[in-house]
Chains A and B, each alone.
Chain A
Amino acid sequence: MRARPDSGPGPRTPRLVPGDSSRREASGVHDVFPPGAYSPEGVDLTLVDAWLDMSPEERLDALQEMLDFVALARRGRPSEAP
């Protein structure tokens, strides 16, 4: 009999099926992200949704908060200031 590609000397590794958490857990792989959380290019789709649900004013204020936070963090590290 031909060996299955996922067979080996140890216990057989279950084939991973997207969305099938029981098989994923059986394999020892624990995917903490729900299926579809990231695009194939690695874009965080939850983040995309969240920003699109905000108003432009809210987005501008969120960016300002990030800028202020980074400036605060850099204050103690002048060499990293832009």
Chain B
Amino acid sequence: MAGPPKLRELLAALSGHRVEFIVVGGVAAVLEGVGMMTDDLDVLVETSEANVERLLAALEDLEAIYRDPAGRSLRPDAERLASFRLHLLDTRLGRLDLLRTLKPGERSYADLVSRSRVYRIGGLEIPVLELAAVIESKEAADRPKDRAALPLLRRTLEELQARGRLPGKSPSER
């Protein structure tokens, strides 16, 4: 079983292969300013043929396999990536979760790229889902851990709005 995600290295691996993605979930919330713990790096991927090809090259570099309770060593391929909404992977740099759509409304990369901000991290430009959209996704997922996190997420968004600053660059500024 893979250890915790090496966040910078995983983001660098995806960016290095020019994969189009948006960081979503808990890591997006942290980058937006929320002081919370999260175990996974969740990324929403663009699903064109060309991007899936780049993604598969990155996943091969990362020695990615599915987290399989039965212990099988299943590697992601184009067919599997096209078949499921969520892919829970172990890599040599820790856990990585890929999503093709995000709740609510099963929104795709194309639907959400306008609601992402780009952060410059270690020389890389990393698109990150804005906090308001992260909150919407947590509300829709409605798992116990999402419900527990929501007061902190909402309060942080209120603080950001009160301070009149929302961090990062909008996609139009890239």
Contacts and interface: CB of A to CB of B under 8 A. Distances in A.
A71 B119 contact: no
Nearest to A47: B35
B152 A56 contact: no
Nearest to B38: A63
Given A56-B167, A60-B30, A66-B37, A81 B155 contact: no
Nearest to A63: B30
Contact of A56 (B5, B31, B35, B39): B31
Interface residues of A, number: 26
Judged by DSSP, the binding face of A is helix
Nearest to B31: A56
Interface residues of B, number: 29
A52 B37 contact: no
A59 B1 CA distance: 26
A41 B155 contact: yes
Interface string B133-159: 000000000000000000110011001
Interface in A61-76: 62-64, 66-68, 70-71
Q: Which of B35, B159, B160 counts the most chain A CB atoms within 10 A? A: B35
Interface of A: 39, 41-43, 45, 47-52, 54, 56-57, 59-60, 62-64, 66-68, 70-71, 81-82
Given A41-B151, A56-B168, A63-B27, 16 more contacts: A39-B155, A48-B35, A48-B155, A48-B156, A48-B159, A50-B35, A56-B31, A56-B121, A59-B33, A60-B121, A64-B6, A67-B7, A67-B39, A70-B4, A70-B39, A82-B39
